[in-house]
Amino acid sequence: MKYRPLALLGALLLSTGLVACSSSGDEQGAGGPTVLDVWLMRDSVSEAFQKEFEAGFEKDHPDIDVKIQIQEWEGIGEKVTAALASNDAPDVIEVGNTQVAQYAQSGGLTDFTEKVGDLGGDSWLKGLAEPGAWEGKQYGIPYYAANRVVIYRTDLFQQAGIDATTIKTRDQWLAATGKLDKDGVQGIYLPGQNWFALAGFIWDEGGQLATQENGRWKGGLDSPEAMRAMEFYKRLQALGKGPKDSDEARPLQAEVMAEGRIAQIIATPGGANAIAQSNPGLKGKLGFFPIPGKTADTPGSVLTGGSDLVVPSVAEHQDEAYAFIKALTGDAWQTKLALAMSYVPNRTTLAGAVASDPGAAAMAVGAAEGHATPSTPQWAAVEAKNPIKDYMTAVLTGRDAKAEAAKASRSITTTLRSGS
């Protein structure tokens, strides 16, 4: 499973010529069904699932003809921005969960606040639901989720006498990782700039990446809670030889683990497929467990990736769009989607749907403690500049943690307030 970008920068102004929006020319003929134009993202659904859903939905709604267009993630921010500003937008659009705020800010999305109860919103994953809201109103409807887990070498754990199912706390995780880190094996490969993992540790400690008070944002890396999280990250990172000045994509950590001497990485479960493809000898030797929390009764917090479904306010078929969203995000089709795509369903009550898939099941446990990045359109600019990475490298290379945390927090504050 590919991990979705957690935020994409959208252009403020773009010519509408870039957009292939809904096809008003395909409207129903006299007495024919309403054509519902839908944009879903690449790898959001398989071809088989798409056909099954369309057939099932149209059987239940014979007055609606669903036309799904698969979109690419590259450049989608600009394309959606242009669609929302046009008079010919698609009826339903899949967007990254942390993109909703920037689109809602423009006033271009339909408000579903009064429909939350009807859609079963009381059990939505908060990592999808919270970023789908803007200024107290719900615009994005949770679609599916993905988050990081620990991918580990079952054979190396067995050789070290470690039962991964017993690792429930951070202290147990550190002890096991230290036991693995010997005889040429790295206990864990954790690059110094994996800020996604750090974010989870910050939430575990009760901290935040940024906080809002009286309508103004402030960076939170210099809080005592966030600094404790960075200290834990430093201890864990030291139990391997991960680079201190790069992230999990440089080099690709799956390729590093495929070299054969890495006991663990923190990644989405799809990373196991990439590892086995690079090194077929590791096929069948990779397992998963949720990132451990501070106590055994609560798994570690994770950054929730995934998607929400939105409806442009200019979309012509509002009722039909709502019917589509209600079906695709409801229990029956969420269960089928999770099994077909190894995703985490959009609600906690469906976690058992992926029990037969070890990677997805581990994700589902963590998803219950899922969080989102700060719900503000300016967060995308923070990620583009990303002072969090620079801060992590500075601490790991011996610079003063308190001073560097304050510096990074000031940078986050400035960026978040730039759009005020």
Domains defined along the chain, listed by start? 16-146+304-371 (3.40.190.10), 149-303+386-417 (3.40.190.10)
Amino acid at 100: V
Residue 6 clears pLDDT 70, i.e. is over it: no
Confidence at residue 294, expressed as pLDDT on a 0 to 100 scale: 97
pLDDT tens sequence across 113-152: 999 999 999 999 999 999 999 999 999 999 999 999 999 9
| Strand order across the 264-267 sheet | 264-267, 149-153, 286-289
Confidence of residue 106 (pLDDT cuts 50, 70, 90): confident
By the 8 A CB rule, do 373 and 350 touch? no
The DSSP code for 228 is H
Residue 30 has what pLDDT?
Answer: 52
Are the beta carbons of 132 and 138 closer than 8 angstroms?
Answer: yes
* pLDDT tens readout for residues 207-217: 999 999 898 99
Q: Counting Cβ atoms within 10 Å, is residue 246 exposed (0-12), middle (13-18) or buried (19+)?
A: middle
CA separation, residue 243 to residues 87, 256, 282 (Å): 49, 11, 23
Which pTM was predicted?
0.85
